[in-house]
Amino acid sequence: MGLSDLIRESTLPWLSGAGEYGDVVLGSRIRLARNFQRIPFPGRADLNQLATTRLMVERILPGIAKTLGTSFIVADMEKLPKLSRSVLVEKQYISAKFTKNPQHRVAFVSNDERMSILVNEEDHLRIQCMAPGLALEDSYELASRFDDLVEEKLDIAFDEKMGYLTSCPTNLGTGLRASVILHLPGLVFTKNIQNIVNISPQLGLAIRPIYGDAKESFGNIFLLSNQLTLGFSEAELIANLKTAAKEIVSHERQARKALSLYMKERLEDEVYRSYGTLRYARLLSEREALSLLSKVRLGVDLRMMETPTAKDFGRMLVRMGDSYLRNLAENENLSKNEIERLRAQKVREILLEKAPRPQSEPIEDI
Amino acid sequence: MLCDECGRNEAVIHIVQAGPNGRTEHNLCEECASHYSDLILPYSGRNKDMSMNDFLKGVFSAEEPQKIEQEAPNDEPDALVCPNCGMSYEDFQHTGKIGCSVCYQTFRRELFPLLRRIHGASSHRGKIPHRSGSALERKQHIARLREELKRTIEQEEYERAAELRDEIRALELKEQEGGGADGTV
Ligand SMILES: [Zn+2]
Ligand SMILES: [Zn+2]
């Protein structure tokens, strides 16, 4: 697997639909923020200092890769075309911030795509580990292992009282940001999502929609993360997030059950209409596609239909991205109409792979 | 669990509401829940949510400058400058971002109240770098054991408490013997 595969593929391992609580938890992510002693943090460093940091990491990385039994794909922001960078942002291997000033910003993505190491993001080092389903502990262990291997060779900025020193004081202490990605159509349709949003800060957690903003979101996909990083151990922070995630899962399942009991016919109608639109539409905006896809996935989870599978759901999510589609067409300046056409086509392709095709249905023209 | 409403049938629907008057829970059977369509659809998206950005804005807007001055009456924190990266405390107040690891030493006293406001705590309890931190790790371990000791005494678990006391003593002895005793440097 190389850099071009990483950009082109639509099957992301961390969105494979496998893993515990996979009917609600799409994936888990751990991020550790680390810095080196004395070198100014990237936001304040000059080009020489940025280059130094980069060189320090590049020197120790081969040894770490060997110990971990993996290899890393190098994504050098300076060399990568803008479009490819946006695709990596869409796939969540890098942050949008990372692409703004590309000088000496390099991402190292492990071959199995479980790990993504960002050099010179907001902190010198950001160690990210991803896994499908609810799998925070495994991901933390991997991230922490990587951190140990770095620390064997390089001096990490650390203070007895304040913990790991980070560019933003909101990450101080553990430098840990643990997140889970949740699909919550049940809580959104039963209008209970606001309760979760309201309670989260009291639990030291933050929840935000992944698509759209707090005022208006679509796709019913949310990111739940710890807000506090200091004063608790990593295990405590992860356990707290995990407990909350499990509770949300059980509320989501209850809500789905309620919907399927009391609004069965309407729900079924919505699910099949959504499927029909995804299957036959010729133009799809991202917003419409995500809303439809969410309903179809709900229908699959409630066993109203068998396909698309959870894995296909993940593939469709990737294929809906503007940057993914522009990159596929090798045209940065695709018109809105062209993107919507391509999106409809790419979604349809997946639905056609497995859909049992009734005899009477007309044959697809694309 | 039985239904909260009729008390006869098995509850199948569990609804939690966090309204302005706190958290209420309802466990309802199918029959009773069907009368409660507004419970299943209880909220019409009242916008009370707090985004991370609002949260941060609240934290950084210097609403307690007088307090900081009280804690450091002879310093002018704004005039502090980091000898390593040249960042001033005033810069930090503008950007919310620290310049380098040495800044944390330079602005140490000013930062603690801020950390308490952000995290509700100002003491790290998590992972420690192994290479530079073996002595630190032991210190943190002792602190944890002490907490546990206090708890066991409160709960009158004296046998466990005695074990903990021995463990703490052994660790403290090691500490007096010097940091590198366990082979790491
Ligand atoms: Zn009842
Ligand atoms: Zn500094």
| pLDDT per residue as tens digits for the range A165-218 | 999 999 999 999 999 999 999 999 999 998 898 889 888 999 999 998 767 889
Number of H helices, E strands in chain A: 13, 10
Q: Quick one: pLDDT at residue B38?
A: 36
Residue B83 tokens read as 């000898």
Q: Tell me the pLDDT band of B39, cut-offs 50, 70 and 90.
A: very low
Contact residues, chain B, for A155 at CB < 8 Å: 132
Cβ of A165 within 8 Å of Cβ of B104? The answer is yes
**For residue range A285-340, what is the model confidence (pLDDT) as tens digits?**
999 999 999 999 999 999 999 889 999 999 999 999 999 999 999 988 999 999 99
Chain B residues with CB under 8 Å of A233 CB are: 125-127
Q: What is the pLDDT of residues A55-93, one digit of tens each?
A: 999 999 999 999 999 999 999 999 999 999 999 999 999
Q: List the single residue in B14, B43, B125 with the smallest CB-CB distance to A254.
A: B14
Q: How confident is the model at residue B126 (pLDDT cuts 50, 70, 90)?
A: very high
The mean pLDDT value of chain B amounts to 69
- Is the pLDDT higher at B144 or at A178? A178
Range of weakest confidence among B15-24, B46-55, B90-99, B105-114? B46-55
Judged against a pLDDT cut of 60, whether residue B71 lies above it is answered with no
Q: What is the pLDDT of residue A253?
A: 96
| pLDDT tier for residue A124 given thresholds of 50, 70 and 90 | very high
Closest-CA residue in chain B for A122?
A: B97
Closest partner residue to B104 (CB to CB) among A159, A208, A237 is A159
The Cβ of residue A316 has, within 10 Å, a number of other Cβ atoms equal to: 25
Domain boundaries, chain A: 3-258, 263-352
Q: How confident is the model over A248-278, as pLDDT tens digits? A: 999 999 999 999 999 999 999 999 999 999 9
Look up tokens 């992944």; give the residue.
A210
Confidence of residue B34 (pLDDT cuts 50, 70, 90): low
Residue B13, pLDDT > 80, answer: no
Using pLDDT thresholds of 50, 70 and 90, give the confidence band for residue B68. very low
Closest CA to A199 of B43, B7, B99, B3: B43
Select the residue of B40, B46, B119 nearest A194 (Cβ to Cβ): B46
- State the pLDDT at residue B183: 37
pLDDT in tens, A223-244: 999 999 999 999 999 999 999 9
Instruction: Write the DSSP string, chain B.
Output: -B-TTTSSSBP-EEEEEEETTEEEEEEE-HHHHHT-HHHHS----------HHHHHHHHHS---HHHHHHHSTT--GGG-B-TTT--BHHHHHHH-----HHHHHHTHHHHHHHHHHHHS--S--S---HHHHHHHHHHHHHHHHHHHHHHHHHTT-HHHHHHHHHHHHHHHHHHHT-GGGGS--
Between these two residues, A303 and B26, which has the higher pLDDT value?
A303
A272/B contact by beta carbon, under 8 A: no
pLDDT at A50: 97
Tokens of B56: 């941060």
- DSSP code, position A363: P
Query: What pLDDT was estimated at residue B49?
Result: 36
- Give the separation between CA A273 and CA A287, rounded to whole angstroms: 16
Secondary-structure class of domain A3-258 per CATH = alpha beta
**Interface residue of A36, A168, A198 to substitute, partner B, most B CBs within 10 Å:** A198
Burial of A162 (0-12, 13-18, 19+ CB in 10 A): buried
pLDDT at B55: 39
- Confidence tier at B64 by pLDDT (50, 70, 90): very low
Put simply, whether B47 touches A (Cβ < 8 Å) is yes
Q: Would an 8 Å CB–CB cutoff place A176 in contact with chain B? A: yes
Q: Could you say which DSSP state residue A338 is in?
A: H
Tokens of A243: 């407990």
pLDDT at B20: 47
In this structure, are residues A43 and A100 in contact, taking their beta carbons and an 8 Å threshold?
Answer: no
Beta-carbon-side half-sphere exposure of residue B5 (alpha carbons within 13 Å): 19
Answer yes or no: is pLDDT of B57 > 70. Answer: no
- Residue B15: pLDDT band (50, 70, 90) is low
Please say if the pLDDT value at position B45 is more than 50.
no
- Pick from A51, A94, A95: which is nearest to A73 by CA? A94
Task: Give the integer Cα–Cα distance in Å for A294 and A279.
Answer: 14
Q: Is residue B61 pLDDT above 50, yes or no?
A: no
Helical packing angle, A336-354 and A264-280, nearest 10°: 110
User: pLDDT, tens digit, for every residue of B82-123?
Assistant: 999 999 998 898 889 999 999 999 999 989 888 888 888 779
Reply yes or no: is the peptide bond before residue A308 cis, omega within 30 of 0. yes
